[in-house]
Chains A and B, each alone.
Chain A
Amino acid sequence: MIKRILLVEDEPNIIEAIRFILSRDGWHVTTHSDGTTALEAIGRTGPDVLVLDVMLPGRSGFDILRDLRADPATSDLPVLMLTAKGQARDREQAERYGVTRFMTKPFANSDVLAAVNAMHAAPGRDAATEEGSGAAADERAEGRAVLRSPVGREG
């Protein structure tokens, strides 16, 4: 089964890196960079998992998330939210709007992989949105990833 993911993010080099690691992990990756048209892109591509940045040109990730949850077609779509402002307020707001997982930048590649795969394996709302904050947790996650070292099909 093809795992399809949509990445809504506006930093080209972040897009390139995430696209690379997700593709190697076997995901079919589509990207979109504009907040105002993000909902249409989601409707068009119908992803299994959505990675959504908070700060987008045109429209905030929070607004997009709220609209997604209000629409029955996407109310259960697993959403991983990325934010550069690791503030508690952002996290609270994302949780209030029904985010599946929340991750602060800068993140480890392995964290992203682990998160999207877990969300894909157990779709629907996951109450435990903690992705392991702090450097120690990041390193633990990274260590795990290195051990598993997934080898993708793409070169």
Chain B
Amino acid sequence: MARPSLTGSRIRERRLVLGRRQADLARAVGISPSYLNLIEHNRRRIGGKLVQAIAAELKVDVAQLTEGAEAALVNILREAAADHRAGSEDLPRLEEFVGRFPGLAQLLADTRRRALSLERTVEVLSDRMTHDPFLSASLHDILSTITAIRSTAGILVETDDLDTEWRDRFHRNIAEESRRLAESAEGLVSYLDAAASAEFAGQTPQEELDLWLSERGYHAPEMERALPPDPEDVVARADGLRSRAAREMAVRWLRRTRQDAEHMPLARMREAVAEHGVDPAAISARFGVDLPAVFRRLAALPEDALGGIVGLVACDGSGTLTFRKPVTGFALPRYSAACPLWPLYEALSRPMAPVRHVVEVAGRAPGLFVAYALCRPAQPVGFGGPQVLEALMLLVPLDLADAHPATAVPETLRTAPLAVGTSCRICPRPACAARREPSIMAELG
């Protein structure tokens, strides 16, 4: 994990903002100015007590120095560079680039996002051309009608001795087919008109939902009220939710959130968290609700109720992520499939068996988390219908778990954390047994 990090650049930036001299700061934290200089130019890794001391001196949070706003930017550009020969050669200097040219880096990331979004639009359109059953049926109908008209008209024109009875009959057929053609064409035009709107906006419905949830901090204060508004109304007022699919998913999320809030009201949840810490099992027992509901409820609480932020991911039986609430230090893949070693997937393979692991996420700022996961089968249309699986994984940052004596992680669990990643492509663990494709990071050594 000895990769360069931008912490040094941020320290330098912050120090200059405060107008402090390098030597002055170095002395204050007990290191030599030349060592601080190396740190500020990202040539020395910095961590632990030293970064805490510097953060205190510079009057900022440690996280502000170690994470920064660039983390997401670096991730996007890393994915972009991975697909590009010349770009991948510059990967070792990516963080430096982002630190030195944040504007250009943002431009590159935006361009990349735009390109992906357009690619997706093209995909949707070509998908529609090939697979859309309405379009395909409609074109077939139109071609059949034209065939009948052309063939019948040909007979009328080319047959000199056509008797009256046949001629009338063919005239009638042409009139009938023309009417049908007009109807089909009209239907097709109005269908294409309707389809041209929201569906092609470039974002997937899931992305729309993610953005909307992230803007509201994955919390729905209106659903906590005694008389909550109708979720449909809440969603109708949300500007960010344009596609029908995204609106439906948002309504579903609000309904579930409301249901969970009824079982575990906010005030009583605060008490529960104060007493048990972020311990899903204890809270589940206290309220008599199942674990998945507790996972969801914890992830939908405001930050001040938990004393921190927890992450939550959900997947369906195919392993496709259906919900993602990111948490600092645990990057979730944007476009690619997730890490197969996530406890989420262990839970998916053993429905109803709760899973808990301390995990270490590979990345620029390796984070430790307590991951709780559970997969629950459902029979939404009864025992005659298909079994539908949903697995959830709650991610509690280790320091948040440690903050409460009831959830403090024993030493035996934390010494050998489960090594996971975000997604194979950008995972720096070269010797991973579950790797499905080579990593671009492994090449960096």
Contacts and interface: CB of A to CB of B under 8 A. Distances in A.
A11 B159 contact: no
A105 B154 contact: no
Given A85-B140, A109-B158, A17 B148 contact: yes
Contacts of B152: 13, 16-17
B143 A84 contact: yes
What range describes how many residues of A lie at the interface?
20 to 34
A73 interface: no
A41 interface: no
B147 A20 contact: no
Nearest to A53: B144
A106 interface: yes
B163 A11 contact: no
B132 interface: no
Nearest to B169: A16
Given A16-B173, A85-B140, A105 B146 contact: yes
Contacts of B169: 16
B443 interface: no
A114 interface: no
A115 interface: no
A51 B143 CA distance: 18
A106 B147 contact: yes
Given A84-B143, A106-B147, A13 B177 contact: yes
Given A14-B148, A20-B166, A155 B161 contact: yes
Nearest to A11: B144
Nearest to B163: A155
A109 B154 CA distance: 7
Among A16, A107, A110, A155, max chain B CB count under 10 A is at: A16
Contact of B147 (A11, A85, A146): A11
Contacts, number: 67
A29 interface: no
Contacts of B163: 155
B241 to A, nearest CB: 37
Interface in A1-36: 11, 13-14, 16-18, 20-21, 24
B150 interface: yes
A17 B140 contact: no
A149 interface: yes
Interface in B131-151: 136, 139-140, 143-144, 146-151
Contacts of B140: 55, 84-85
B44 to A, nearest CB: 60
Contacts of B176: 13
B16 interface: no
Contacts of B147: 11, 14, 84, 105-107
Contacts of A106: 143, 146-147, 149-151
Given A13-B152, A107-B147, A155-B163, A84 B139 contact: yes
B155 interface: yes
Interface string B168-191: 011001001100000000000000
A61 B159 CA distance: 31
Interface string A50-82: 000001000000000000000000000000000
Contacts of B150: 106-108
Given A106-B150, A108-B150, A17 B144 contact: no
A35 to B, nearest CB: 14
26 contacts: A11-B144, A11-B147, A13-B152, A13-B177, A14-B147, A14-B151, A16-B152, A17-B152, A17-B173, A20-B170, A55-B140, A84-B139, A84-B144, A85-B136, A85-B139, A85-B140, A105-B143, A105-B146, A106-B146, A106-B147, A108-B150, A109-B154, A109-B158, A110-B154, A146-B158, A149-B158
Interface of A: 11, 13-14, 16-18, 20-21, 24, 55, 84-85, 105-110, 145-146, 149, 151, 155
Given A17-B152, A17-B170, A106-B147, 9 more contacts: A13-B152, A13-B176, A14-B144, A17-B173, A21-B155, A24-B159, A84-B143, A107-B151, A110-B154
